Amino acid sequence: MTAIGTIDRPVTHDPLKQALMTAHTTSEQPHGSAHADFITAGAITSRQNRTREMQLIPEALARAHMNDRMREVDAERRAVRLVTARRMQRRAERVSLRARRALAMAVMQ
């Protein structure tokens, strides 16, 4: 079951705009003492203690990585276009020079 506002379906996809989840502390136990069921359910409690921000860290990292990759691809694409444009400019200059020579030869005859 997925409801609005859960980890599966957050209210917003921006981790910075999501509400912080507070940790629940028990006041009946002194600080540093172990619970009786801490030994049996230690792994489960540590897994349940994760916050929504921690759950969304991999997504934020993946989003940042994809943005970096897209910037790299755009820069590479611009570089390829620049190289192609320079190559075409040199070719056009050679063709123009050849046309001038041909015109000069035709005028001289």
Mean pLDDT of the chain: 77
Q: Which range marks the domain in which residue 91 is found?
A: 45-108
Q: What percent of the chain has pLDDT over 90?
A: 45
State how many domains the chain has: 1
Average pLDDT on 12-28 reads: 58
Q: Rounded CA gap, 97 and 109, in Å?
A: 19
For residue 102, tell me if it sits in a domain.
yes
Cβ atoms of 49 and 7 within 8 Å: the answer is no
Average pLDDT on 44-52 reads: 61
For residue 1, tell me if it sits in a domain.
no
Q: Report pLDDT for 38.
A: 46
For residue 104, tell me if it sits in a domain.
yes
pTM for this predicted structure = 0.43
For residue 2, tell me if it sits in a domain.
no
The closest of 86, 88, 85, 109 to 101, measured between CA atoms, is 109
